[in-house]
């Protein structure tokens, strides 16, 4: 968990009015004392862990008895669940029955996490979904599956494996309406959010930004094209290198690919090596393998960038896009998943389909600082209105209230 000190709701007064705070506290009042357990597969690395690190303390401040637990898993388990992740995004995968048994065995080893005395249990993503086997249906608690990935084109074998577990939940939560499935349980649509007070998103002095850039060998006086993401094939870092090679032939610029890996992602080192090979011989490319706690460095890199890219091939939501937009940066994103929920073409950024299209937009923004500034201003305002942590906290309170009352339509909380 980030060590940013104790953050309270009042600290969000710059993005949340007193009336909004009062409304949030009133909404949470019926939930006072409720026991809420959040469970995921990693405490560091990735957007889910970052959100939970800040969401759970704020739920506590609102009077809920919230906690965050993480399942254990060995290398085989995370290898298979990474295959699940890619297959649910629509990538081909070759599963054998032993793979599914590995997931079942890991669930059995973690069943002790479930006590059946909580009022609400939130399981995040497929990795811990087998904990449903520990649920005592006679207990009063409500269970919700919070899915952070795009399963709209998911591999049928994985969906068949997951469906019996999913449909034992009291509800499911998806980022976008496009991701909702034909399920026999209520579904909520709830985009995620960033924390404007975290180390990754708080304001930084220009001097600190400059010092971080120089420490990584990046020239602050020259244009910087940046992508921040895990080294994951679905983030297409090789495609970003290809786009940069095209753009650099016409515009003086530097490319920074910064990121690391999460403890539940075993492919990071291999993808980093593939990216390094693609960048071999290309001048002005900086590959930065950062530790999971390099939040302030990422903040500085984003603030120092001229253009930010997130050229994902598949994306659950892509909070790194919101992070860059919050910092007033023009963002070029892959036209996939939740990136389309954040970037409106020509208004808050650009959506692209190919390295060539990405290169064209990089050149357009480098050659037109006024356009880049306008897109960045619009982007920051859109994130402020829709994707900051107080808004996300309010949506969670609404979901828990709905579960407590037994609501059951599909509800879009992101509109």
Kindly state the tokens that stand for 317. 């939501």
Other CB atoms closer than 10 Å to residue 386's CB: what's the count?
Answer: 16
Tokens of 395: 């949506």
Model pTM? 0.85
Contact call for residues 258 and 298 (beta carbons, < 8 A): yes
Integer angstrom CA distances of residue 317 from 34, 101, 176, 311: 29, 29, 8, 13
Whether residue 395 sits in one domain with residue 382 = no
Token code pair at residue 377: 């201003």
| Domain identity same for 214 and 179 | no
- Asked if residue 48 is part of any domain, the answer here is yes
225 and 235 housed in the same domain: yes
Give a yes or no: residue 249 inside a domain. Answer: yes
- The parts of the chain modelled with pLDDT lower than 70 are 1-5, 261-266, 407-415
For the chain, how many structural domains are there in total? 2
Q: Is residue 363 within 8 Å of 371, Cβ to Cβ?
A: no
Q: Does one domain contain both 134 and 262?
A: no
Nearest to 339 by CA among 175, 224, 174, 199: 175
Indicate if 354 and 405 belong to the same structural domain.
no
Let me know if residue 17 belongs to a domain.
yes
In a shared domain, residues 116 and 128: yes
Same domain for 395 and 294? no
The domain in which residue 39 lies consists of 9-193+388-412
User: Domain holding 247: CATH number?
Assistant: 3.40.50.2000
Instruction: Yes or no: say if 290 and 193 are a contact pair by the CB < 8 Å rule.
Output: no
Give residue-wise pLDDT tens across range 39-96. 999 887 777 888 898 899 999 999 999 999 999 998 898 888 888 888 887 777 888 8
Considering the domain boundaries, does residue 247 fall inside one? yes
């Amino acid at each position: 968990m980030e060590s940013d000190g104790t953050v309270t709701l009042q600290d969000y007064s710059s993005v949340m009015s007193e009336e909004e705070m009062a409304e949030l506290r009133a909404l949470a009042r019926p939930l006072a004392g409720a026991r809420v357990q959040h469970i995921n597969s990693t405490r560091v690395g990735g957007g889910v862990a970052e959100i939970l690190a800040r969401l759970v303390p704020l739920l506590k401040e609102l009077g809920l008895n919230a906690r965050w637990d993480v399942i254990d898993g060995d290398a085989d388990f995370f290898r298979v669940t990474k295959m699940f992740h890619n297959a649910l995004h629509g990538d081909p995968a070759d599963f054998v029955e032993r793979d599914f048994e590995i997931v079942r065995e890991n669930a059995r080893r973690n069943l002790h996490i479930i006590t059946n005395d909580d009022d609400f249990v939130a399981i995040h993503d497929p990795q811990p979904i087998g904990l449903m086997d520990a649920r005592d249906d006679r207990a009063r608690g409500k269970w919700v599956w919070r899915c952070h990935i795009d399963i709209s084109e998911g591999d049928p074998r994985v969906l068949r494996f997951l469906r019996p577990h999913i449909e034992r939940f009291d509800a499911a939560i998806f980022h976008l309406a496009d991701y909702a499935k034909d399920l026999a349980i209520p579904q909520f649509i709830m985009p995620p959010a960033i924390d404007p007070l975290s180390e990754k998103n708080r304001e930084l002095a220009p001097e600190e930004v400059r010092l971080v850039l120089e420490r990584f060998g990046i020239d602050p006086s020259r244009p910087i094209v940046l992508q921040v993401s895990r080294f994951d094939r679905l983030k297409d870092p090789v495609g970003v290198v290809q786009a940069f090679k095209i753009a650099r032939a016409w515009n003086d610029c530097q490319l920074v690919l910064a990121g690391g890996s999460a403890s539940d992602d075993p492919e990071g080192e291999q993808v980093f090596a593939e990216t390094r090979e693609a960048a071999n011989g290309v001048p002005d490319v900086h590959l930065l393998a950062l530790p999971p706690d390099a939040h302030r460095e990422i903040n500085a890199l984003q603030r120092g960038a001229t253009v930010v890219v997130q050229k994902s091939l598949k994306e659950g939501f892509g909070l790194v896009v919101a992070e860059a937009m919050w910092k007033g940066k023009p963002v070029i994103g892959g036209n996939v998943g939740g990136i389309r929920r954040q970037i409106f073409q020509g208004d808050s950024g650009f959506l692209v389909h190919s390295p060539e299209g990405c290169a064209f937009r990089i050149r357009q923004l480098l050659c037109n600082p006024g356009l880049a500034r306008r897109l960045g201003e619009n982007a920051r305002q859109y994130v402020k209105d829709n994707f900051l942590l107080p808004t996300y906290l309010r949506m969670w309170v609404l979901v828990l209230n709905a579960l407590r009352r037994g609501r059951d339509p599909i509800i879009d909380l992101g509109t």
